[in-house]
Amino acid sequence: MAMTRLERLLGLLLRAVVRVFFAIFEIFAPQRGNDEEARLPPITNPLLTVPAIQLARQIRRKEVTSVEVVQAYIDRIQEVNPLINALVKDRFTAALQEAAQVDKLIEEETGGEDVLEDRLPLLGVPFTVKEAFALQGMPNSTGLLSRKAVISGIDAPSVALLKRAGAIPLGVTNCSELCMWLESHNHLYGITRNPYNLGRIAGGSSGGEGSIIGGGASVIGVGSDIGGSIRIPCFFNGVFGHKPTSGIVNNAGQYPPPSGQQPGFLCTGPMCRYAGDLLPLLRIMAGPAAEKLALSAEVDLRKLRFFSVPHDGGSPLLSPVDPQLIQAQKRVVQQLEADLGVKVEEIRIPQLKYSFQIWGAMMSAPGKDGKAPTSFAELMGGGKKVWPVWELFKCMLGLSSHTVAAIGLALVEIFQSSQPSQFILHQKETLQRDLEELLGTDGVLLYPSHPQLAPKHHHPLFTPFNFSYTGIFNILGLPVTQCPLGLSAEGLPMGIQLVAGKLQDRLPLATALYLEKAFGGWRDPGSTADAPKSILSNLKSSSNST
């Protein structure tokens, strides 16, 4: 199924139009000063470079107190958050009080460290939560101005399980308006910036989580993903994330609630700086359902079958994959083959070029009860449908309470059919069958996380379909781990998706752990060791002039 001449022509035409819009946007967009060259301060407190599971062990052994760890993260947040705008509401006073209670509990515990580890595996470790999730006493607006006064009275189940494991929430982080855009920007909290380059986006919708973790101001966090909302921010911010097999982690307690067929596509999962934290976090967040994943079973990477898909096959709607990302994926293949003695098979999957059409059709399809999903325009109005054309007019006058991205989605929805075409259903079913047969119970697929490195702010408005590289796996229900692969020539994070068959979450998690050791994992965005040469030369020139 090679691309037809018409598809190639449409692709060239679309990219030409996008370049024109880019040029116009760059001329009229407000300049952001030195955002492209500004850097976060480097991490100086060694506690901020310790994985969560290891921190919990040190706290249990009284090698460090929970108060010291929590205070270290509060200090880091206060240092970097004015630059990245990731945490939108803190609970620092309550967190320090809870940390003091943890230290007292450890002092009084007579059963020994093993008892605490079994009962409270994250005792004393701080974490952050996407604002779309209910966290008691914290706002739950999902960036909607009309929900500004909404305060959660309870915890979402996934948040409650982490707290029950002893973890201490520090606050909630920014997201895109109503969690349906890949830039975390809304008119309530503003825009979140990428810690590696403040002029770039942090992704969405869990962009605040990605940014705060990537910036070294949080070690673990909670995100949700219906089209890549965990994986895209983790990719752009150089950290790890996992979209579990559909239905494993409870999705309740977040706004907006999914409807239609969407509950089968939405996933709640962990985001973190260190690969070793993913599996224990998933085990905790999944609760009793974790037994379905056999997470304790040993994984021998040498016995797995690996497949590499370098791109989606050339959809005319999507940007070409950045050459640096293609090379990074090739390096992964070479590393696996040389180190593990496996043969990574490069394959093509033709149906992937219809990823956006499949995702859009299934997201708008009615549920088993025949009811269509709640319209985005109705969600924007908090139950009362807004008129997107009117909102667009108000936006031009600076009077709308909604972002351009949200208004655009509501406009697109007008033309979206609620019934998938037979052609798209056939492509989806064929893709589902072929991938499940390919991966089985011992296969891992390497696939780009996104065709571009982290774009400049608002640029996704011109490439709105690029999320399809992640979104297709929500529809298929497959587990996916996002893994960082170092920095590009521009100093931006690179990465890759690791995909496995249903309920085989432990396979990509184990592969991510291996790739972290091979490629270095997360990098401190404030470290000059990984800074692009242009920034280093400017810093030297500045110091010489003074």
- Residues that are catalytic: 130, 205, 229
Which backbone phi and psi does 74 adopt, to 5 degrees? -60, -45
Task: Specify which residues 308 forms β-bridges with.
Answer: 346, 446
484: which strand partners? 495
Reported as type and span, the H/E element at residue 104 is helix 92-108
Among residues 203, 208, 476, 504, the alpha carbon closest in space to that of 359 is found at: 476
The edge-to-edge listing of strands for the beta sheet with 443-447 is 87-90, 168-173, 126-130, 220-225, 267-272, 240-243, 480-487, 493-500, 443-447, 305-308, 344-346
**Whole-number Å distance between alpha carbons of 329 and 346:** 11
CA atoms within 13 A on the CB side of 529: 6
Residue pair 235/251 in contact by the 8 Å Cβ criterion: no
Token code pair at residue 233: 């921010």
Which residues face 221 on adjacent strands? 128, 271
Whether omega before 256 lies within 30 degrees of 0, making that bond cis, reads: yes
Cis peptide before 184 (omega within 30 of 0): no
Q: Is the distance from CB of 282 to CB of 412 less than 8 angstroms?
A: no
Residue ranges of alpha helices (H) inside 341-387 are: 355-363, 376-380
DSSP conformational letter for 440: T
